[in-house]
Amino acid sequence: MNTDNILENKYKKLSELLSGMGNAVLAFSGGVDSSLLLYAAAKSIKESLLVVTFKTPYSPQSEIKAALKLVESFGVRHLVIETDLPDFLQNNPPERCYLCKKYLFGKLLEIAADNSISHVIDGSNVDDLGDYRPGRKAIKELGIESPLLAAGFSKQDIRDVSRIKGLDTWDTPAGACLLTRIPHGNFVEESELLKIDKGEQLIRSIGFPAVRLRSHGRLARIEVPSEEVAGLCSALLESSLSPEIKALGYDHVTVDIDGYRMGSLNKIDKKYS
């Protein structure tokens, strides 16, 4: 069986799973995973689908804008919920992802109950099982369903099918909440989250879409894919970007020569893995 047939079979299984549910609340971030799930759900259960996006202080604003635009294009019911930074995340604990998922998906379960909806779904996939994903523990505890995972989708499968289906999100760089840019145990101010977000937007504006600005007090440590490090250094030297980033509230702007590493600030806590 060729690759296209394998992907089509996985997508068919995904559609069957969603149709079998009949209704669902879909947790939507606007990333590549939840975008394909939205596409499939809109095809299968559009009239009984409720899409929910959380707008938190630690959500990159560009991701929120992209999420709103994409959901609107599908014409499905969409609820945007604004939240404050919860007290239990204020010190950016190592288990933040677990605590955040437990909190937000708990709200989704309440929304589902209020709307007589039987299923709450998210965009987890097969690759999430082998990665450090403390949020998966919360999702399992709450009984959240993951149709992409159940249908056997890997991250690459999701990108490939998204491209075949014509979704612009197929090559969107992996995203993560802004708390991942701050070391564990540091007190988090919303103003710091805002300057991180603005700094990353500045770097994207000169052609580096996959970027992390790790914030170490008055020092900004920028990560891009290793093959782009030299190009970013040149771009910073040739532009006024470094002074612009400093103007956000940093004394020093550095480029990490090791390049982007997922969760480079994580302190692994096995209890949540």
Residues near 207 by Cβ (< 8 Å), separated by ≥ 6?
Answer: 235
The Cα–Cα gap between 249 and 82 comes to 26
- What's the pLDDT score for residue 1? 59
Look at residue 93 and tell me if it is in a domain.
Answer: yes
Residue 84 lies in a domain: yes
Domain identity same for 125 and 146: yes
SS3 for 95-109, per residue?
A: CHHHHHHHHHHHHHH
Q: Measure the N-to-C terminal CA separation of the chain; round to a whole number of Å.
A: 35
Identity at 128, one-letter amino acid code: D
Report helix, strand or coil for 245: helix
- 111 and 26 share one domain: yes
SS3 228: helix
Q: How far apart are CA 114 and CA 80, in angstroms?
A: 16
The residue ranges of the chain whose pLDDT is under 50 are 267-273
pTM: predicted TM-score of the whole model, two decimal places: 0.89
The token pair at 251 is 């004394």
Residue 260: the pLDDT is 85
Name the domain count of the chain: 2
Judgement on whether residues 12 and 91 belong to the same structural domain of the protein: yes
Q: Which residue, 143, 171, 199, sits at the end of a domain?
A: 171
